[in-house]
Chains A and B, each alone.
Chain A
Amino acid sequence: MNPRPENRGAAIELETVSKAYGSFRALDGVSLGIEPGEFMTLLGPSGSGKTTTLNVIAGFTDVTSGKLRVGGNSVVGVPAHKRNIGVVFQHYALFPHMTVGRNVAYPLTLRGVDQAKRKARVAEALDMVKMGDFAHRYPSELSGGQQQRVALARAIVFDPPLLLMDEPLGALDKRLREWLQLEIKRIHRELGTTFVYVTHDQEEALVLSDRIAVFNRGRIEQVGTGRQLYDEPATLFVGRFIGDSTVLRGEARSDGTSTALGIAGETVTAPRRLTGEANPVMLLRPEKLSLRRPDQKAAAGANRLSGTIAEAIYLGSGSKYEVKLGDGAMAIVRSPLTGESFGLGEKVELCFDGADAKLLPDDSTADTTLT
């Protein structure tokens, strides 16, 4: 193969890609552009279409309609083995009858790389995943984490311009997972190829990705950096899926520039309004909320809601409270270590600046699709 060019990643473009199984639409008009060398994570609950998207890119699944280009060329109808895309599977998929070395050499053998070069590149790939000493072992002799690193080496050894990973850490325990996340990040930096990573774990997505595409029910809800998704969720689903959040629902009244919600006799307002007919809800991040005792004086202009402490969790860096509001809804509040502490059952007031509330159209399915 050619010596490594500077930017070896391939761009990917999906244009209104759909995939139907009978009457079930696994993908419903998905459009997504991935930059060369980008780390893109496809995030969503199970059955949301993220793995189907990966399968479509890899060539394991045909599209029902739509366009798919990898590196500028359409790959619709190109079989998987001719796409030159590396894939790492959740279940490792190492060949049990081959040693680690032969597993990693496999794609090179298929490409007719001569033996001396093959040996060198296998060693290089195994070193990259820190498995250089295991070339003569069989997969059954390795732990899950080791097997997944070998699978990673096998997927990058032939220098594919694109690497797909399908929940590669899903079967591993938390510690190992966190360590391997950093490893994957490092390898991405060193290789410079495009990575497409599928996960249902939003924390993992935030750790790894340049950008994240949030999937729900066969569609993409939003694409953006972790920060954008957290701060500016486009839909209630995204807001709920990324990070902790409190959702306030109530009787909505909008005038020209602001929206008010009536919740169990109290009213909160936000200085914005939704366009369109949808029922507005407010989404608030835990750090934008604060608690005070009812007798304390509130800052002017702040919204207040009364509630009761239902759960108090000490986190080390601070505390997390669950507050039961007047209408029965739960609010999540994170308070710094320096703040006041509250006890279970204590009556409190929940305060926030109306400008911090995200106003989003209500979506009753956003709750149920979360598992």
Chain B
Amino acid sequence: MSALEPTTLSAERRAGWAWRPFALTLPALVLLAAVIGYPLITIVLRSLSEPEWGVQNYAWFFGAPVNLAVLQRTFAISAWVTLVCVVCAYPYAYLMTAVGPRVRLVLVLCVLIPFWVSGVVRTLSWVILLQDSGVINSLLRSADFAGIRLIRTQTGVVIGMAQVLLPFMILPLYSVMKGIDIRLVQAARSLGARPSRAFFTVYLPLSLPGVYAGAVIVFILALGFYITPALLGGPRSTMLSTLVQTQVLSLLQWGRGGAMGVVLLVTTFLLLALAAPVMRSRHREAGRR
């Protein structure tokens, strides 16, 4: 009200010192332009100019069935990973909201520890687990089952990727569920809804923004995954990233590799742009509380 509101003060600063905040962000922006902006522009230009100017690289990419198959597989694997993450993360995040602080701490740690452990090491673990002479197969064999092929299969890739990406699903989901007023569910129950009906008509819709946010993050990150498919996957589970790498490093086809990269980049940003309005409305709702 009449307190020394920071708004009046910052209005003051804005008038006299408008350049100062910008100056503070300048070093970061310069680095951003040099190490992200310039390289990305380079890639776009190369995709249009190598070996000669034109869209031949894009025509090649969308003309070859092999490439389209990889593109389709990339989407399929990402979708599977997202689905696995949603299914596993939903009950987990819900339980995080329903237990006491001690158990919650343990559950949070279980999410955060893999977050902190080196990604390469985690993929290495999956190699050890899934390989033909790995933990799972040796366990199966010792129980007299036939071994199954997991490494260099799509299933193996999905299992490994989902484990790496699960925290990205659990955390946004938890933050939304934490904010859901449980009295709404009680209100539904008092109005005569059975527990399952109260869940499906009240709780689930309220938690959907979290599902949505987490799913978008997981899907986008999965699209660009490189290490896990490279180590766990085989030729029949190649994803787009691997293809880009092959074109550039092995075949020195900068134009084609660049075109694929641009396709991947554009897809990612399109998905983000599609998701942004929904995420923003979620923020607004959170602000109202």
Chain A's closest residue to B2 (CB) is: A51
Residue contact B12 to A90, C-beta cutoff 8 Å: no
Contacts A/B (CB < 8 Å), 15 sampled: A21-B11, A46-B1, A46-B2, A51-B3, A60-B4, A60-B9, A61-B12, A62-B16, A89-B4, A90-B2, A90-B3, A90-B4, A166-B4, A167-B2, A200-B2
| 12 other A-B residue contacts (CB within 8 Å) besides A51-B2, A90-B4 | A46-B2, A60-B12, A61-B9, A61-B12, A62-B16, A90-B2, A91-B3, A167-B1, A167-B3, A170-B1, A198-B2, A200-B2
What chain A residues lie within 8 Å of B11 (beta carbons)? 21
Name A's B-contacting residues (CB within 8 A): 21, 46, 50-52, 54-55, 60-62, 89-91, 166-167, 170, 198, 200
Chain B's closest residue to A50 (CB) is: B2
Cβ of A285 to closest chain B Cβ, rounded Å: 27
Complex Cα spacing A50 to B3, Å: 10
Residue contact B12 to A51, C-beta cutoff 8 Å: no
Complex Cα spacing A329 to B13, Å: 48
Complex Cα spacing A334 to B28, Å: 69
Residue contact A89 to B3, C-beta cutoff 8 Å: yes
What chain A residues lie within 8 Å of B12 (beta carbons)? 60-62
Complex Cα spacing A170 to B4, Å: 13
What chain B residues lie within 8 Å of A89 (beta carbons)? 3-4
Contact mask B249-270 → A, CB, 8 Å, 1/0? 0000000000000000000000
Q: B196 interface residue, CB < 8 Å from A?
A: no
Residue contact B2 to A55, C-beta cutoff 8 Å: no
Complex Cα spacing A115 to B24, Å: 37
Return the contact of B3 from the options A21, A52, A61, A166 (Cβ within 8 A).
Answer: A166
Which of A51, A52, A91, A166 counts the most chain B CB atoms within 10 A? Answer: A51
Complex Cα spacing A60 to B10, Å: 10
State the majority secondary structure of interface residues on A. Answer: loop
Q: B8 interface residue, CB < 8 Å from A?
A: yes
Complex Cα spacing A155 to B1, Å: 22
What chain A residues lie within 8 Å of B16 (beta carbons)? 62
State the majority secondary structure of interface residues on B. Answer: helix
Cβ of A213 to closest chain B Cβ, rounded Å: 14
What chain B residues lie within 8 Å of A21 (beta carbons)? 8, 11
Residue contact B4 to A55, C-beta cutoff 8 Å: yes
Complex Cα spacing A21 to B1, Å: 17
Complex Cα spacing A60 to B4, Å: 9
Complex Cα spacing A364 to B8, Å: 29
What chain A residues lie within 8 Å of B2 (beta carbons)? 46, 50-51, 90, 166-167, 170, 198, 200
What chain B residues lie within 8 Å of A91 (beta carbons)? 3
Complex Cα spacing A267 to B9, Å: 53
Residue contact A61 to B1, C-beta cutoff 8 Å: no
* 10 smallest beta-carbon distances between A and B, as pairs: A51-B2, A90-B3, A46-B1, A46-B2, A167-B2, A91-B3, A166-B4, A61-B12, A89-B4, A21-B11
Chain B's closest residue to A49 (CB) is: B2
What chain B residues lie within 8 Å of A167 (beta carbons)? 1-3
Complex Cα spacing A61 to B15, Å: 11
Chain B's closest residue to A42 (CB) is: B2
What chain A residues lie within 8 Å of B3 (beta carbons)? 51, 89-91, 166-167, 170
Cβ of B6 to closest chain A Cβ, rounded Å: 10
Cβ of A170 to closest chain B Cβ, rounded Å: 8
Cβ of A59 to closest chain B Cβ, rounded Å: 11
Complex Cα spacing A200 to B12, Å: 24
What chain B residues lie within 8 Å of A60 (beta carbons)? 4, 9, 12
Cβ of A222 to closest chain B Cβ, rounded Å: 19
Which of B9, B12, B16 counts the most chain A CB atoms within 10 A? Answer: B12
Chain B's closest residue to A93 (CB) is: B4
Complex Cα spacing A35 to B79, Å: 76
Chain A's closest residue to B16 (CB) is: A62
Complex Cα spacing A202 to B136, Å: 80
Complex Cα spacing A51 to B11, Å: 15
Complex Cα spacing A62 to B12, Å: 8
What chain A residues lie within 8 Å of B8 (beta carbons)? 21, 52, 55, 61
Complex Cα spacing A21 to B5, Å: 14
Cβ of B266 to closest chain A Cβ, rounded Å: 42
Cβ of B17 to closest chain A Cβ, rounded Å: 12
What chain B residues lie within 8 Å of A200 (beta carbons)? 1-2
What chain A residues lie within 8 Å of B1 (beta carbons)? 46, 167, 170, 200
Complex Cα spacing A89 to B16, Å: 24
Cβ of A89 to closest chain B Cβ, rounded Å: 6
Cβ of A159 to closest chain B Cβ, rounded Å: 23
Those of B150-183 within 8 Å (CB) of chain A: none
Complex Cα spacing A46 to B8, Å: 14
Cβ of A178 to closest chain B Cβ, rounded Å: 20
Chain B's closest residue to A87 (CB) is: B4
Complex Cα spacing A21 to B2, Å: 16
What chain B residues lie within 8 Å of A51 (beta carbons)? 2-4
Those of B1-58 within 8 Å (CB) of chain A: 1-4, 8-9, 11-12, 16
Complex Cα spacing A52 to B7, Å: 12
Complex Cα spacing A54 to B4, Å: 9
Those of B224-263 within 8 Å (CB) of chain A: none
Chain B's closest residue to A90 (CB) is: B3
Complex Cα spacing A167 to B5, Å: 13
What chain A residues lie within 8 Å of B9 (beta carbons)? 60-61
What chain B residues lie within 8 Å of A166 (beta carbons)? 2-4
Cβ of B11 to closest chain A Cβ, rounded Å: 6
Complex Cα spacing A225 to B11, Å: 35
Cβ of A113 to closest chain B Cβ, rounded Å: 26
Chain B's closest residue to A21 (CB) is: B11
Complex Cα spacing A78 to B12, Å: 15
Complex Cα spacing A170 to B3, Å: 9
Complex Cα spacing A46 to B3, Å: 10
Chain B's closest residue to A62 (CB) is: B12
Complex Cα spacing A166 to B9, Å: 15
